[in-house]
Amino acid sequence: MLVFGRHQSKLDYFSFADKTYLVDDIPADVKVSQALECTGGQGSEAAIQQIIQHIQPMGTAILMGVSENPVGIDTRSVLAEGLTLRGVSRSSREDFKRAVDILSSSPVTRERLQNLVGYVQKVSSIQDITNFFDSALTNYWGKEVMEWDV
């Protein structure tokens, strides 16, 4: 598994990866058959373009990063290489049940995913929830987790 990112400090969390690359330092010969774009926001367009540059012909890119603005995609290269782009951004109840099953039975998976958590706060009131969102928007990297105490 290869992981690409803009910040070495964040890439260091992916200790289970076979190799990590800073996006400004990817060797031209690095190719993948599948890619997940999780950047979202303003970085989506650049991330998708890099995927197109480094994916093998007939490869699949899963687009998961949500952007509020339209992003350009080099359709000429997508078509010429026979790439598949698939968008996934919502989960069903069944997806969450399966995720709980996986996390319940796999300590290794739990440990790896814990690296993505940047902020945890116990909430027990509406004001705690408001404070959580105010703080999480500006102060932390990674996923924010509310620990419900109600």
Please say whether the beta carbons of 106 and 113 come within 8 A: no
- Give residue limits of the domains in the chain: 2-87, 117-150
| pLDDT 10s digits, 17-54 | 899 999 999 999 999 999 999 888 888 999 999 999 99
Which pLDDT score, from 0 to 100, does residue 20 have? 93
2-87 homologous superfamily: NAD(P)-binding Rossmann-like Domain (3.40.50.720)
- Mapped onto helix, strand or coil, the DSSP state of residue 70 is coil
| pLDDT 10s digits, 64-116 | 988 888 999 999 999 999 999 999 877 788 988 998 999 999 998 888 888 88
pTM: 0.66
- Mapped onto helix, strand or coil, the DSSP state of residue 108 is helix
For 97, residues 6+ apart whose C-beta sits below 8 A from its C-beta are none
Distances (CA, A) of 1 to 24, 86, 126: 19, 20, 41
